[in-house]
Chains A and B, each alone.
Chain A
Amino acid sequence: MDDFRYIDEVTTLTLDESTCIGCGMCLAVCPHGVFDLQEQKAKIIDRNGCMECGACALNCPVAALSVNPGVGCAAYIIQSWIKGKENASCGDGGCC
């Protein structure tokens, strides 16, 4: 995936290292290798690789991670503008 990079400096991902217990669950679920485990703590090593899928935050047992999750899909964004984020879905595009 290193040959595919999207727009930098936009992700809403944050990690509270003081809360982190170093379980490594975020490393297991992230599809872009955003995290690494260093000295029993998760570290963000590739912030701009994040696609805000939300898997890490959902699976963090101590809620040390937060991200505003969603789908990186134009059809979804248009629906979220019209219907609000809760009711947005990708619909009948080639995507979801």
Chain B
Amino acid sequence: MTLPQDKACSCDSGIAKSPDIIFSGQSANDVCCGPSPGPRSSGLEKPGYVLCGFVAEFIETPAGPVPRVKRTLDRSDIRETVMVRMGFNRNQYRVTPGLYCIGTPDHTSPVLVSANYKLSFDALRGALKRNHAWILVLDTRGINVWCAAGKGTFSTAEIVRQVQASRVEKVVSHRTLILPQLSATGVAAHQVRKQCGFKVAWGPIRATDIETYIKRGHKSDTAMRKVTFTLWERFVLVPVEITLHLKYLLWFLMIAFALSGIGPGIFSFLQAWQRGWVALAAGVAGIFAGVVVVPILLPWLPGKPFFIKGTLPGGLTAMGIIFLYRHMVGTLEAGALILFITATSSYLAMNFTGSTPFTSPSGVEKEMRMAIPAQAGAILLAAGLWIGAAFALV
């Protein structure tokens, strides 16, 4: 290799150095700068653009070049999925809207419509093992299909706009769009046809059913049309729930530390420090019960309203905490712990309604009107007992 960098650089380890060191004019060294360079930039790349890792190449169509996407997820896709599932970069995990293809589609191939949340897009391309298809990605602002339909970004207007912008009518000779069934909350099929001439066929709910749906001549069976909420589907929601609730734990800690220090001597840092640890354990226990135990055990927890479902895991976790700290927890404090952890778990369980696919707004509103006063009362009472216990010791 005779590139200037290779001649000029003198790094003595395998670690790549920054450009200003590379051009510092020191003596040549053949073993420098790590492994040998990879292949030349592919002809697909353009200055100012980043080539997406999931694009294999571009094909020419009457509507211009269209990226062909890979059917399998790369290691980087999987790594990003794990990060997003843990709550990192979740609101910026997007695919550029527009027309894509998979396999070698022609003018008779189906057009599948998807959201531009990359988890949704990856679920679709990963499920297309054999079929050749066009994929029309809407600008749903990086939101998944169902939520986007509820928020109005996966809408009739957006479909019409994207069909026209991508000139889908030049690419296919038929006039049918296959939509994920859950987008029906935001899309009126008869309006799509009226406004852009494309008929809507309601596809399955889950991307994994899409090939069966196509094979059966664009037909869903009853099972494909119904949402599920399996143990795995609930489990994958847990990490993001934990991440999102950690910030509340910080607020709770500050308040709990302040309350724990109040006593006969007005405020004692030593007392705050000692009791603060128990309070921290209570906060962690409440969150654990509400956002880990409740989602996982959901179908087996007693009660239909979620605020009731949250009480049993909360109560049991509270018992565990009291047992763990039995040498430093009196009767009043035990009462405070039971009230606080149970109320927190109950509230967080109620918050989980939004992550489930079967709760109605009328039902959630009804249970919230009942539960919030009780939960707030329990937490205030817990705070009172917690402070009172410090005085009772004297």
Contact of B184 among A58, A78, A96 (CB under 8 A): A58
Residues of A within 8 A of B84 (CB): none
Q: In the complex, identify which listed stretch (B94-102, B335-343, B361-369) lies at the interface while the others stay far away.
A: B361-369
Among residues of B, the one whose C-beta sits closest to the C-beta of A58 is B188
Given known A25-B189, A77-B368, contact A72–B360 (CB-CB < 8 A): yes
Residues of B within 8 A of A76 (CB): 354, 361, 364
Q: With A and B bound together, what is the CA distance between A72 and B244 in angstroms?
A: 19
Q: With A and B bound together, what is the CA distance between A52 and B244 in angstroms?
A: 27
**Contact assessment for A1 and B227 in the assembled complex, using a CB-CB cutoff below 8 Å:** yes
**Contact assessment for A96 and B354 in the assembled complex, using a CB-CB cutoff below 8 Å:** yes
Q: With A and B bound together, what is the CA distance between A73 and B291 in angstroms?
A: 15
Answer whether residue A42 sits at the interface, using C-beta atoms and an 8 A cutoff: no
**Contact assessment for B187 and A71 in the assembled complex, using a CB-CB cutoff below 8 Å:** no
Residues of A within 8 A of B350 (CB): 74
Q: Which residues of A1-47 are within 8 A (CB) of B? A: 1, 3-8, 10-12, 25, 27-33
Answer whether residue B202 sits at the interface, using C-beta atoms and an 8 A cutoff: yes
Q: With A and B bound together, what is the CA distance between A61 and B193 in angstroms?
A: 12
Answer whether residue B147 sits at the interface, using C-beta atoms and an 8 A cutoff: yes
Q: Which residues of B359-386 are within 8 A (CB) of A? A: 359-368
Q: What count of chain A residues pass the 8 Å CB interface test?
A: 46
**Contact assessment for A95 and B361 in the assembled complex, using a CB-CB cutoff below 8 Å:** no
Answer whether residue B251 sits at the interface, using C-beta atoms and an 8 A cutoff: no
**Contact assessment for B361 and A52 in the assembled complex, using a CB-CB cutoff below 8 Å:** yes
Answer whether residue B271 sits at the interface, using C-beta atoms and an 8 A cutoff: no
Answer whether residue A65 sits at the interface, using C-beta atoms and an 8 A cutoff: no
- What is the distance, in angstroms, from A45's C-beta to the closest C-beta of chain B? 12
Contact of B147 among A55, A77, A95 (CB under 8 A): A95
Per-residue interface assignment for chain A, residues 51 to 67, with 1 indicating a CB less than 8 Å from any chain B CB and 0 otherwise:
11111001101000000
- What is the distance, in angstroms, from A46's C-beta to the closest C-beta of chain B? 11
Instruction: Give the secondary structure class of A's interface.
Output: loop
Among residues of A, the one whose C-beta sits closest to the C-beta of B222 is A33
Given known A11-B360, A52-B361, contact A59–B226 (CB-CB < 8 A): no
Answer whether residue B138 sits at the interface, using C-beta atoms and an 8 A cutoff: no
**Contact assessment for A74 and B353 in the assembled complex, using a CB-CB cutoff below 8 Å:** yes
Residues of A within 8 A of B361 (CB): 52, 68-73, 76-77
Residues of A within 8 A of B237 (CB): 94
| Range of interface residues on B (Cβ < 8 Å) | 35 or more
Answer whether residue B325 sits at the interface, using C-beta atoms and an 8 A cutoff: no
Residues of A within 8 A of B298 (CB): 4
Q: With A and B bound together, what is the CA distance between A74 and B366 in angstroms?
A: 10
Residues of B within 8 A of A11 (CB): 360, 362-363
Among residues of B, the one whose C-beta sits closest to the C-beta of A33 is B226
Given known A1-B228, A32-B226, contact A74–B184 (CB-CB < 8 A): no
Among residues of B, the one whose C-beta sits closest to the C-beta of A5 is B304
Q: With A and B bound together, what is the CA distance between A78 and B299 in angstroms?
A: 25
Given known A10-B363, A71-B354, A73-B354, contact A96–B151 (CB-CB < 8 A): yes
Answer whether residue B355 sits at the interface, using C-beta atoms and an 8 A cutoff: yes
Q: With A and B bound together, what is the CA distance between A10 and B370 in angstroms?
A: 14
**Contact assessment for A72 and B190 in the assembled complex, using a CB-CB cutoff below 8 Å:** no
Contact of A28 among B225, B240, B357, B366 (CB under 8 A): B225
Answer whether residue B105 sits at the interface, using C-beta atoms and an 8 A cutoff: no
Residues of A within 8 A of B358 (CB): 1, 4-6, 32, 49, 51, 72
- What is the distance, in angstroms, from A11's C-beta to the closest C-beta of chain B? 6
24 contacts between A and B (CB under 8 A): A1-B228, A1-B229, A6-B359, A7-B304, A27-B225, A28-B220, A29-B181, A29-B202, A31-B205, A31-B227, A52-B361, A52-B362, A58-B186, A59-B188, A61-B190, A71-B361, A72-B353, A72-B364, A75-B354, A78-B368, A92-B244, A94-B237, A94-B241, A96-B144
User: In the complex, given contacts A6-B359, A6-B360, A8-B304, what are 12 additional A-B residue pairs having Cβ atoms less than 8 angstroms apart?
Assistant: A4-B229, A4-B299, A5-B304, A10-B360, A28-B181, A33-B225, A52-B361, A74-B368, A76-B361, A94-B240, A94-B354, A96-B146
Residues of B at the A interface (CB closer than 8 Å) are: 143-144, 146-147, 149-151, 181-182, 184-190, 202, 205, 220, 222, 225-229, 237, 240-241, 244, 291, 298-299, 304-305, 350-368
